Amino acid sequence: MTALRVGATSFKLRRRPLVMVAVALVLLAVVLVVDIMIGDFPLTASQVVDTLLGGGTRRDQFVVMELRMPRALTGLLVGGALGLSGAIFQAIVRNPLASPDILGVTWGAGAGAVSVITFAGSLGVVTGGAASIGLPLAGLAGGLVAGLLVYALAWRQGIEGFRMVLVGIGITAVAGNFTHYLLTVGDVQDAGRAMVWITGSLNGRGWEHVVPVALALVVLVPVALIGGHVLGALQFGDETSRGLGVRVNLARSLLIVVAIVLASVATAAAGPIAFVALATPQIALRLAGTAQPPLFGSVVVGGVLVMLSDLVARTVYRLELPVGVVTAVLGAPYLMYLLVRSRREARV
Amino acid sequence: MSVRLEASSLCVGYGERLVVDTLDLSIVGGTVTAVIGPNGCGKSTLLRALGRLLPARSGAVLLDGKQIDRMPTREVAQVLGLLPQAPSAPEGLTVADLVARGRHPHQAWYRQWSSDDAAAVSAAMEMTGISDLADRTVDELSGGQRQRAWISMALAQGTDLLLLDEPTTYLDLAHQIDVLDLVQELHSSMGRTVVMVLHDLNLAARYADVVVAMRDGRIVAQGAPSEVLTESMLLDVFGLDARVVEDPVSGTPLVVPVGSRHRVP
């Protein structure tokens, strides 16, 4: 094991996770460029790079900076936020099933956001610009309520992974039904808009969607990486962790709030894109060869995953599909695999 | 010889039930103490309260004279290490990584792997004889190897005081001896203070300086093994009819249960 030591600071350097992050970052850049190339006005790779560096014609500038870049960036950032959120949850709960989708956070955020979409139209309370600010906030509120409710209800002198997953499934059902109730009572047009949003879509995303997620990531990625050191000592049972001098409940609560905020903000921007937060940390973990989901690795892999899925969603079919359809098609078999595997382990 | 760890009128319980009842105990520095007693007598609960894993309902635990629940948990972790019963590690964690986690109380987010950390971890693995297993994952180890890996983690923590909750459970006799020899070594060559819960009375008699016998949350007897492990104590504490003879190897008490098959009417 090599180490990087400068003065009083020191870090472990492991080759495989570093190589994995480097490769994923290159892949991320490639997918970003390809994503921007493809569309009704096809561009070449050099045109895209040129335009991004400030060159290109005015038409190219418009297509890249106004139409495609915000969508691609929303996908990238949402994927990163979901990946990180899932990684934190899975490390804390010590269960690969734990993720904001399963634990009700995503659907809580969904219910919050759909409230804004439907009430904004039919009641005229929130309109236009207010709705675009209100949506992330309502999503955040919904996600926090659902997430903290799961944490509180599953609490019994500590956290046990399986109980949290079960409570989460219950909260998911409640939030999902509330959302469907809103769709039923809401205006038809609003309900239609909300329906597309619920599937998880990057269609028509502009800079106003990029900004909240970008802000959340700028603040919370460093927080998570600093907290990640404690995460390493939290991966054993509570007693061992306390023995190592970790204030278990405090550390875990703070990290869970970070994970909930990340998932909620991401959901408010693009809808509940299914399975990304569930699968990303496990993919990153296998690629990096670590015992715990790597945090930064999960950010990058999540970004690649959502952008690639959106690329597929935009191109494979005559119609443009919502990205959530693609991630669900890929993710559902993976969830089944996890369930089968955990049952087998329980039997041994 | 100073008192390092002390329970003073300590009461600990779960919900309604009081498991440790107004208990006083002093652990002297540099000794090995074995806590014995029947199942459910509160010996694990006592150990966990001594390691501030459970709050005192009344009374207090004092570490070097200071009330342990008022000390920062990190500060405690630099002095007192503990190994819970049957600890669990995530799948895929390597032995080196497990042992390295023992350094957590000495680290910060910006100081994650100092040269002290590296030295302490390799010394701990050396001492338990698991250096060659460093890159194996914890889940593929045998029970004895795994227990040694966990003890290495506690050693890497570099604490004077070690609390071990049944360190020999699930191990065959040879591995039990291995682990206890290691405890003996820590005590004799490094002057560590060890408190452990043990089920096997004969091993407790061999390896401990002080034996503490508990029943119903209270201490019934404590002292040198030969003073505590008597036929009347065994009957009183365990309800066990047994003879106590001299261990032919160590000279310590050896408990030989009678059992119904051999009982002379």
Q: pLDDT class for A126, splitting at 50, 70, 90?
A: very low
Range of B58's domain?
A: 3-79+159-262
- The answer to whether B193 touches B31, Cβ cutoff 8 Å, is yes
Which is higher by pLDDT, A217 or B170? A217
The per-residue pLDDT for range A244-271, each reduced to its tens digit, is: 999 998 999 899 999 999 999 999 889 8
Q: Chain A within 8 Å of B88 (Cβ-Cβ)? A: yes
Which pLDDT score, from 0 to 100, does residue A188 have? Answer: 82
CA A129 and chain centroid, separation = 24
Q: Chain A within 8 Å of B114 (Cβ-Cβ)? A: yes
Into how many domains does chain B fold? 2
Which pLDDT score, from 0 to 100, does residue A342 have? Answer: 64
Kindly state the tokens that stand for B182: 């290691």
Q: Chain A within 8 Å of B108 (Cβ-Cβ)? A: yes
- The answer to whether B81 touches A275, Cβ cutoff 8 Å, is no
Tell me the residues of A at the B interface, defined by beta carbons under 8 Å apart: 1, 3, 5, 8-12, 94, 225-230, 232-233, 235-237, 239-240, 242-247, 285, 290-292
User: Given strand B66-67, what is the order of strands in its sheet?
Assistant: B17-28, B3-14, B58-63, B66-67
Which pLDDT score, from 0 to 100, does residue A129 have? Answer: 54
The per-residue pLDDT for range A169-202, each reduced to its tens digit, is: 999 999 999 999 988 888 888 888 788 778 888 9
What are the structural domains of chain A? 68-347 (1.10.3470.10)
Kindly state the tokens that stand for B152: 């290495």
Kindly state the tokens that stand for A126: 């929130």
- Per-residue pLDDT of chain B (265 residues), as tens digits, is 699 999 999 999 988 889 999 999 999 999 999 999 999 999 999 999 999 999 999 999 999 999 999 999 999 999 999 999 888 888 889 999 999 999 999 999 999 999 999 999 999 999 899 999 999 999 999 888 999 999 999 999 999 999 999 999 888 999 899 899 999 998 998 899 999 999 999 999 999 999 999 999 999 999 999 999 999 999 999 999 999 999 999 999 999 999 888 887 7
Chain A residue with the nearest C-alpha to that of B150: A240
- Chain B CB contacts of A228 under 8 Å are 109
- The answer to whether B246 touches B255, Cβ cutoff 8 Å, is no
Which pLDDT score, from 0 to 100, does residue A132 have? Answer: 60
Are B73 and A245 inside 8 Å of each other by CB? yes
Are B112 and A247 inside 8 Å of each other by CB? no
Mark whether B66 and B98 lie in a shared domain.
no
What residues contact A1, with CB distance under 8 A and at least 6 apart? A12, A13, A14, B96, B113, B118
Which pLDDT score, from 0 to 100, does residue A122 have? Answer: 46
What residues contact A86, with CB distance under 8 A and at least 6 apart? A99, A100, A259, A263, A276, A277, A278, A279, A280, A281, A293, A298, A302
* Measured distance CA(A199)–CA(A222) in Å, rounded: 30
HSE at residue B229, side-chain half, CA atoms within 13 A, is: 30
Q: For residue B174, give Cα distances in angstroms to B170, B196, B254.
A: 12, 18, 18
Mark whether B32 and B16 lie in a shared domain.
yes
Are B78 and A9 inside 8 Å of each other by CB? no
CB atoms within 10 A of CB B174: 8
Are B84 and A292 inside 8 Å of each other by CB? no
Could you say which of A10, A227, A235 has the minimum Cβ distance to residue B114? A10
Taking one residue from A and the other from B, the number of pairs with CB-CB distance under 8 angstroms is 96
Which pLDDT score, from 0 to 100, does residue A321 have? Answer: 87
Max distance between CA atoms of chain A, in angstroms, equals 64
Mark whether B103 and B32 lie in a shared domain.
no
Asked whether the predicted pLDDT for residue A160 surpasses 80, the reply is no
Strand residues in B37-185 grouped as ranges (E)? 58-63, 66-67, 80-83, 161-165
CA of A170 vs chain B CAs: smallest distance (Å): 27
> Which of these, A11, A262, A318, A287, lies nearest to A143 by C-alpha position?
A262
Kindly state the tokens that stand for A29: 């850049």
**Which of A95, A226, A240, A338 is most worth mutating to test chain B (most B CB atoms within 10 A of its CB)?**
A240
The per-residue pLDDT for range A266-285, each reduced to its tens digit, is: 998 898 898 999 999 999 99
* Measured distance CA(B163)–CA(B151) in Å, rounded: 11
CA A130, A132, A134 angle in degrees (round to 5)? 65
Instruction: Note whether residue B84 is domain-resident.
Output: no
CB atoms within 10 A of CB B74: 16
- Chain A CB contacts of B96 under 8 Å are 1
Instruction: Note whether residue B235 is domain-resident.
Output: yes
Consecutive H or E run containing A132: helix A128-154
Mark whether B28 and B124 lie in a shared domain.
no
Q: Chain A within 8 Å of B92 (Cβ-Cβ)? A: yes
Q: Write the ipTM.
A: 0.89
Mark whether B171 and B212 lie in a shared domain.
yes
CATH number where B229 lies: 3.40.50.300
The per-residue pLDDT for range A96-107, each reduced to its tens digit, is: 889 999 999 999
Asked whether the predicted pLDDT for residue A288 surpasses 50, the reply is yes
Asked whether the predicted pLDDT for residue A242 surpasses 50, the reply is yes
Mark whether B168 and B258 lie in a shared domain.
yes
Mark whether B175 and B153 lie in a shared domain.
no
Which pLDDT score, from 0 to 100, does residue A348 have? Answer: 34
Mark whether B104 and B226 lie in a shared domain.
no
Q: Among A14-23, A313-322, B154-163, B176-185, which stretch is predicted with the lowest mean pLDDT?
A: A313-322
- The answer to whether B88 touches A291, Cβ cutoff 8 Å, is no
Asked whether the predicted pLDDT for residue A124 surpasses 60, the reply is no
Bridge pairing between strands A2-6 and A9-13: antiparallel
Kindly state the tokens that stand for B51: 């390691």
| Average pLDDT value over all residues in chain A | 88
Which pLDDT score, from 0 to 100, does residue A198 have? Answer: 83
- The answer to whether A113 touches A107, Cβ cutoff 8 Å, is no
Instruction: Note whether residue B86 is domain-resident.
Output: no
Instruction: Say which residue the tokens 């350097």 belong to.
Output: A13
Instruction: Note whether residue B134 is domain-resident.
Output: yes
Could you say which of A225, A228, A291 has the minimum Cβ distance to residue B90? A291
φ and ψ at residue B142, rounded to 5 degrees = -75, 165
Which pLDDT score, from 0 to 100, does residue A156 have? Answer: 81
Mark whether B189 and B251 lie in a shared domain.
yes
* Measured distance CA(A186)–CA(A117) in Å, rounded: 9
Which pLDDT score, from 0 to 100, does residue A115 have? Answer: 87
- Chain B CB contacts of A281 under 8 Å are none
Could you say which of B96, B108, B118 has the minimum Cβ distance to residue A3? B118
Mark whether B192 and B111 lie in a shared domain.
no
Q: Chain A within 8 Å of B170 (Cβ-Cβ)? A: no
Asked whether the predicted pLDDT for residue A27 surpasses 90, the reply is yes
Q: For residue B12, give Cα distances in angstroms to B54, B71, B83, B84.
A: 7, 19, 19, 17
Domain termination residue (choose one: B157, B186, B214): B157
Consecutive H or E run containing B22: strand B17-28
Could you say which of A229, A236, A239 has the minimum Cβ distance to residue B109? A229
